[in-house]
Structure 1
Amino acid sequence: MTKITHGEVKKVANLARLELNDNEISNHAEQLEKILEYIKQLESINTDNIPCTTRAIEVINVFRKDEKKNSNCKEELLELGPSREEKYFKVPKIINE
């Protein structure tokens, strides 16, 4: 594998609008080398018989059965609104004629 040069780090930093000093450039070059080495290790793993996944742990949704329930709290709900007119919520007019 080729070594990440200071020039490459400066170019990427410039594209990302980052100002890095020489110490930071050396540090980032070293870190990028380690990241690329890890990616190289991952590429060597045989994944031919491994199914694709989107999560490490499978998520299962638990649904409840929809059941119709009668409720007699209409008056209580209307009282919670800021304004009402008879048995409806009263809202400001938003459409001009």
Structure 2
Amino acid sequence: MIIISKYLVPKNYIGLTIYPFVFLKNKELKSDSYLLNHENIHLQQQKELFWVFFFVWYFAEYLVLLIKYKNHNKAYKNISFEKEAYQNEGNLNYLLDRKKYSFTKYIM
């Protein structure tokens, strides 16, 4: 389910996924197929890890990467969940063939 809210999406981001919702900063983004694919990849990751464990893993990995890189953007872009989503957002058939826990191929 897509919800439009400029207040729920953090500054400098255009989308946020918290299963089962995809929050977008504005309604025009609903037509961005790559963004929606990116967020749908996150929905699948969250389903696999029962969203609570997804967020524990996500923030733990982010903290380790932040210590490693000492840079928020670099740490964020290297989180395994983000790497999988960014590298496959342009493949609109990705979720049809994706194997469970595919994000593990992108860990550090």
TM-score (normalised: structure 2): 0.23
Relative to its length, the structure with more helix (as a share) is 2
Q: In terms of Rg, which structure is larger?
A: 1
TM-score (normalised: structure 1): 0.25
Relative to its length, the structure with more strand (as a share) is 2
Higher relative contact order (CA 8 A, sep 6+): 2
